A = this chain, B = another copy of it.
Amino acid sequence: MNVEEIISKVLQKVRPTGEERTFVSELMEELKGIAAETIGELGLDVKAHFVGSLAKDTYLAGDHDIDLFLAFPLETPLEELREKGLKLGKAIAERLDSYQLAYAEHPYVRAAYRGVSVDLVPCYDVRDWRDVKTAVDRSILHTEWVNEHLNGRNDEVRLLKRFLKGINAYGSEIYIRGFSGYLSEILVVKYGSFLGVLESTDLMLRQKVIDPGNWLKREPELAMKTLKREVEADRPLVVIDPVDPRRNVAANLSWEKYGRLYFKARTFLKEPSLEFFFPEADGIGSYLRELRERGTHLLTLLFEKPDLIDDVLLPQLEKSAKGLERALAREGFGVLGWDTGYSGRRAFLMLELERIERGRVRIRPGPEFFTERALDFYAKNETVWIEGKRLYTEKKVTENVVDVVLSLLEKNQVPLGKNLREAIRGADVLVDYVPHELKREAYLFLRRERKRIK
């Protein structure tokens, strides 16, 4: 298949059907009505705006979560906005199927309606960047800007998003640090098309700055300040937000994720294939065979997943894995890599180890030989010698990594994510074995499938 054929195949899958479009439009109309009615009943001066990929018509087929922003007048005090916004969100959600509270900078309502997730988010009704007061206020401006500038290239955005998902570089969450939807849209506006973006990854990196709002001319002082700050923070890209000269749209983009696009774009253009967009279901291999071939070992800690959102849980899992890596290295167990995640109600830490047993003899220093304590030490230990002024002995030590891990956890010598401490201390510790539901995870981890670019 050549590039055109591939793109056409991908579009068949990512472009919403007429049916889906109709369903979504009706849903939005209906929600708009419910919102207006509720606002009226509560006697509020609030405008309801749809934002996000649905409002921009850049959503992927089947992926149509709704973001409904409830915009309060600028003069509303922040406390009042939080309180009334939440009240309004709840009142709207009462008329939908179900809801729960969620937390970002402010609390908001996450409802479900006719099988679709609907976020009801209070914000200020800003006209431009000077009005921005909370992190979410820009969303309305972003939606307007994209709708003004995309000029019908919506499917190009869909292609780019699907490509980024396929190569595991999509998502601006703090635990992902990839490309956001808005950043994808800006890149398509800037480079004209999906292929235009792919062909520009080297140029983009070298130019460093993308300024679609022309802020460097319009607000040189502010824009230069942003540029300087972001360059100093060593970001791969500085994309000055076309709706706010103070912000780098790519501030959360990591070098790793940029590097994935960089290499994958290059290889796609050389040898295009559908696999970049839809990687074949991997994980069919055996993790046990991987372990045998690599001559390494797999240590897995399996524990009850605390009831936390991913934004909180995943960074804490990473912190815990890193803590365990350091603690084990100090104990003489070299760690080649780690992975974390959860499956159903159980979370896991996986570490690949060079070995799972260590030498039986360990040297232990004691007190200086001429002290009171030295006599104790001498009496208590079977073998004693002197180095410098100090007595030493040797001890048979815990040999297996499982005993070492349990002892480290018991003695509180592993830095763990604060909400995970209890759970991890009660973890099952498995060596070279994982339960059925983690077999695929183990295989992907040992092959570094998620992070490798080759």
Contacts and interface: CB of A to CB of B under 8 A. Distances in A.
Interface in A251-301: 255-256, 259-260, 262-263, 294-296
A387 interface: yes
Nearest to A386: B259
Contacts of A384: 263, 452-454
Interface in A354-389: 354-355, 358-363, 369-370, 378, 381-389
A16 to B, nearest CB: 33
A359 B370 contact: no
A205 interface: yes
Contact of A255 (B353, B359, B388, B452): B388
Given A334-B359, A336-B359, A452 B263 contact: no
A310 interface: no
A294 B360 contact: yes
B202 A383 contact: no
B336 A363 contact: yes
A229 interface: no
Contacts of A256: 386-388
A451 interface: yes
A332 interface: yes
A337 B352 CA distance: 29
Contacts of A383: 448, 452, 454
A382 B454 contact: yes
Contacts of A454: 378, 381-384
Contacts of A352: 361
Nearest to A369: B259
Contacts of A387: 256
Report, as a range, how many residues of chain A touch the other chain: 35 or more
Nearest to A451: B385
Contacts of A359: 295-296, 334, 336, 353-355
A271 to B, nearest CB: 13
Interface string A319-363: 000000000000010101100000000000000111100111111
Nearest to A360: B295
Interface string A395-426: 00001000000000000000000000000000
Given A263-B378, A384-B454, 13 more contacts: A255-B369, A260-B386, A295-B359, A295-B361, A332-B334, A336-B361, A336-B362, A336-B394, A337-B363, A382-B454, A383-B448, A383-B452, A385-B448
Contacts of A399: 295
A259 B389 contact: yes
23 contacts: A202-B370, A255-B388, A256-B387, A259-B389, A262-B369, A262-B370, A263-B369, A294-B360, A295-B399, A296-B361, A332-B334, A332-B354, A336-B363, A354-B358, A354-B359, A378-B453, A378-B454, A381-B454, A383-B454, A385-B448, A385-B452, A386-B451, A394-B448
Given A294-B360, A295-B360, A360-B295, A389 B451 contact: no
Contact of A294 (B296, B361, B370, B378): B361
A400 to B, nearest CB: 12
Interface string A141-179: 000000000000000000000000000000000000000
Interface in A174-221: 202, 205
A232 to B, nearest CB: 16
Q: 10 nearest interchain CB pairs? A: A354-B359, A295-B360, A259-B386, A384-B454, A259-B369, A385-B452, A385-B451, A255-B389, A256-B386, A294-B361
Contacts of A202: 370
A451 B353 CA distance: 35
Contact of A386 (B205, B255, B296, B385): B255
A57 to B, nearest CB: 33
A24 to B, nearest CB: 37
Nearest to A295: B360
A148 B405 CA distance: 67
